[in-house]
């Protein structure tokens, strides 16, 4: 067995990022389902989505 700590660190980071993205997607789907029939709700959801700021992943090896 090779002790490849950088690979393990990368995989841990990758799994954490995937978990965050899946949670974000699930939250967005739930919000959409909540407002699906309401145009005002969809408008507010759209404004919320537009206000998001991209944060680059913080991978430090």
d(CA 13, CA 33): 30
Q: How confident is the model at residue 1 (pLDDT cuts 50, 70, 90)?
A: low
Residue 37 lies in a domain: yes
pLDDT tens-digit map of 4-51: 888 888 899 899 999 999 999 999 999 999 988 889 999 999 999 999
Residue 13 lies in a domain: no
Structural domains counted in the chain = 1
Residue 11 lies in a domain: no
Residue 20 lies in a domain: no
d(CA 52, CA 46): 10
Residue 48 lies in a domain: yes
Residue 35 lies in a domain: yes
Residue 7 lies in a domain: no
CA 4 from centre of chain: 28
**Which residue segment(s) compose the domain that 31 sits in?**
26-52
Residue 61 lies in a domain: no
């Amino acid at each position: 067995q090779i002790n490849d700590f950088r690979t393990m660190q990368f995989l841990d980071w990758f799994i954490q990022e995937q978990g965050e993205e899946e949670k974000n997607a699930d939250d967005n789907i739930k919000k959409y389902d909540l407002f699906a029939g309401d145009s005002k709700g969809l408008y507010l959801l759209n404004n919320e989505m537009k206000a998001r700021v991209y944060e680059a992943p913080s991978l430090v090896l």
